[in-house]
Chain A
Amino acid sequence: NAGVTQTPKFRILKIGQSMTLQCTQDMNHNYMYWYRQDPGMGLKLIYYSVGAGITDKGEVPNGYNVSRSTTEDFPLRLELAAPSQTSVYFCASSFSYEQYFGPGTRLTVT
């Protein structure tokens, strides 16, 4: 199993640009999550999904959108990127109590 994979690993965006962060898991987990981590801080939940077709907001959803058309994929869309979205983004999935995290995407908005 590859576990949770994320692409790209790094990205630099200009203010106002858009992009999609990809997340795929091959463990057939129902639950998937997107977190962001600012320097020196803990992770904050952006969006989560309990299954294909079902998503819900987390703690910091503004400026982001998600979709979940399949069990495996949970892309995160940034529209009109802002410097405040400079962060490391982690995707995770779970079946029950244990969340499995991907390696992260480091995003810089300048």
Chain B
Amino acid sequence: DAKTTQPNSMESNEEEPVHLPCNHSTISGTDYIHWYRQLPSQGPEYVIHGLTSNVNNRMASLAIAEDRKSSTLILHRATLRDAAVYYCILRPIIQGAQKLVFGQGTRLTINP
């Protein structure tokens, strides 16, 4: 499985944008880039995913480098509720069960 590399931790201030980086230099052309986050004492929750183009949804934006070797999850205006561990995961474009491989993720701290 192609691996991802994320910083162990990041810190930001409330109401400021947050850019969470992810390197995936061995990504294959058939890998989607997924982001999940895990709030304290909860199960992970889906945030966003993309293949080649940048993606936006109500939670975040995903910016994908042109060579697809890196991506950035963007929280446009962080709130205290966004404090969580964020996981960047590569998932092959296949039908069927999506066996996610979680790394250690980035622990995001939001200061009031």
Contacts and interface: CB of A to CB of B under 8 A. Distances in A.
- A and B assemble together: yes
Interface of A: 4, 31, 33, 35, 40-45, 48-50, 56, 58-59, 90, 92, 94, 97-104
Nearest to A54: B97
B100 to A, nearest CB: 6
Given A40-B104, A42-B105, A31 B97 contact: yes
B43 A104 contact: yes
A92 B105 CA distance: 19
Interface centre among A4, A33, A100, A101 (most CB of B within 10 A): A101
Contacts, number: 56
In this complex, the interface size class of chain B, counting residues with CB under 8 Å from chain A, is 20 to 34
Interface of B: 32, 34, 36, 41-46, 49, 87, 91, 96-105
Classify the interface of chain B: helix, strand, loop or mixed.
Answer: loop
A98 B43 contact: no
A90 B46 CA distance: 14
Nearest to B107: A40
A5 B23 CA distance: 34
A99 B98 contact: yes
A18 to B, nearest CB: 24
Given A42-B87, A101-B44, 11 more contacts: A4-B43, A42-B103, A42-B104, A43-B102, A44-B102, A45-B99, A48-B99, A50-B96, A50-B97, A98-B46, A104-B42
Contacts of B36: 99
A33 B99 CA distance: 8
